[in-house]
Structure 1
Amino acid sequence: MSVLNFGTRGAQAAINHLLARADWARERLAPHAGRCARISVEPLALTFAIDHDGYLVDTEDERAPDVTLSLPLSALPGLASGDANRLMNAVRIEGSADLADTLGFVFRNLRWDAEEDLSLVFGDILAHRMVEGATGLRRMHERAWAGLTGNLAEYLAEEQHALVTRAALQGLGEQLRVLRDDLARLDKRLGRLGTAARRA
């Protein structure tokens, strides 16, 4: 078995593992039993059929898939960050719209219960601590990233004047509103003066 085949079979097994704990997902997939789909992320492509129980199975023949979902490699960080919506927005769909819609809904909403899986190997308490530690690490990373981007934006706005701050933009908007009102009053006054001059 080639490395690519091993990778795609591993992905199929992982998805089926998630489906085993998601009755709602299998119920959505089961009406599409017998249909074939391909998920393509160059250089990998996972081609599968759906069985009557809503699981992914190997295709029995070389027929063209009913739908192909193609993702650019650059969209994969969305998967790692958990931003499924951004990931799905990058998908190019060819073929059956209803099957693509079902697969999109299922893949957007499937969740891995890491704590439950880890508890089978390490026990409940250690699994809980591992997941809490990973969650804390992720939050720390998010805070550090938010601080870095905030500091960079402040530096570019205040020191380099390369960005306009929201407060400065609101102040400029207020100044423009006052100027517009002043110009409207001046225009009316000039109109009245012109009318008075013509009458004299």
Structure 2
Amino acid sequence: MFASPAIAGLNHLLADAPWARERLAPFAGRTAVFHVTPFVLSLGIDGGGCFTESATPEPDVTLELPLASLPKAIGGTDALMADIRISGNADFADALGFVLRKLRWDGEEALSRLIGDIAAHRAVNTARDVAAWHRQAARNVVENLVEYFGEEQPLVVKKAALEDLAGDTAALRDDLARLEKRLRKLETR
């Protein structure tokens, strides 16, 4: 279902990365299966080091990633690596992991083929600036909400106030323990 678009996208990235195709070419005819429950993607490697649809039912390498780990992708592929369970041919898994970690899309290069180098550079810089503006705006909204709910409509307890309360509670507990000791002494007299 989504195998063909995924393979086409990966091969588009490989087209601009001869080092990656060279790294994968020795594994021609091998297959890898990616399990991100409920999705399964089977990939084969052709003689040129590009991905194809898997022709064999038995994979040489299986990579499993729990669906709950996908939010870690925000931190990059390295953040996901701790949760991936790999089984099968170690050399093939190593080459595949290296290529997938290092493979990057150069949007500016791809855009420059359509509109030219200078326009592509300016468009990418504008997109980066807009993305940075959105991140800063989101950060400002969160900070303003924290301040509003902490100061003006105190629904959120500040850390310092919570620490003060914990200290006061501990002092009250100690005072109560001393008072109980004194009462016991008075009762025994």
TM-aligned CA distance change 1:153 to 1:89, over 3 Å? farther
Please list, as runs of the form range in 1=range in 2, the aligned pairs for 1:150-165 lying within 5 A after superposition. 160-161=156-157, 163=159
The equivalent of 1:106 in structure 2 is 99
Q: State the Cα RMSD in Å.
A: 3.0
Partner of 1:33 in structure 2?
28
Q: Verify: 1:72 aligned to 2:66, yes or no.
A: yes
| 1:54 maps onto 2:49 in alignment | yes
- Deviation per CA, 1:74-116, whole angstroms, max 9, x where unpaired? 333444x361111222222222233222212111111101112
Distance in 2 (CA, whole Å) between partners of 1:118 and 1:148 is: 33
- Inter-CA distance 86–151: structure 2 relative to 1 (3 Å threshold): farther
Structure 1 position 135 matched with structure 2 position 128: yes
Count the aligned residue pairs. Answer: 160
Distance 1:152 1:16, change over 3 A: same
Alpha-carbon distance change, 34 to 141 in structure 1, aligned in 2, over 3 angstroms? same
Q: In structure 1, what is the equivalent of residue 14 of structure 2?
A: 19
2:167 equivalent in structure 1:
none
1:122 is aligned to 2:115: yes
Return the TM-score normalized by structure 2: 0.68
Q: Note the C-alpha offset of 1:138.
A: 2.5
The Cα of 1:24 is off from its aligned counterpart by 1.7
SS of the residue 1:132 aligns to:
helix
Displacement of 1:153 after TM fit? 7.5
Among 86, 90, 98, the alignment partner of 1:93 is 86
1:139/1:24 Cα in 2 relative to 1: closer, same or farther (>3 Å)?
same
C-alpha deviation, 1:58, in angstroms:
2.1
Q: Which amino acid aligns with 1:53?
A: G
Normalised to the residue count of structure 1, the TM-score between the two structures is 0.64
- Quick one: which amino acid aligns to residue 92 of structure 1? R
Separation in structure 2 between the aligned mates of residue 78 and residue 137 of structure 1, nearest angstrom: 24
Q: Which secondary structure does the structure 1 equivalent of 2:49 belong to?
A: coil
Contact 2:3 2:53 in 1 (8 A): no
Query: Per the alignment, do residues 78 and 116 of structure 1 end up closer, same or farther by CA in structure 2, a change over 3 Å counting?
Result: farther
Distance 1:31 1:71 in 2: 26
* 1:34-85: CA deviation from partner (whole Å, max 9, x where unpaired): 21101122332221111232111222332x1111112233333444x36111
- Given that 1:88 and 1:104 are in contact with CA atoms closer than 8 Å, whether structure 2 keeps it comes out as no
Q: Note if contact 1:84-1:108 (Cα within 8 Å) is conserved in structure 2.
A: yes
Rate the CA distance shift 1:51–1:86 in 2: closer, same or farther, 3 A: same
Matches within 5 A, 1:186-197: none
Unpaired segments ≥5 residues, structure 1: 169-200
Change (3 A) 1:133 1:75: farther
Q: Percent identity?
A: 47
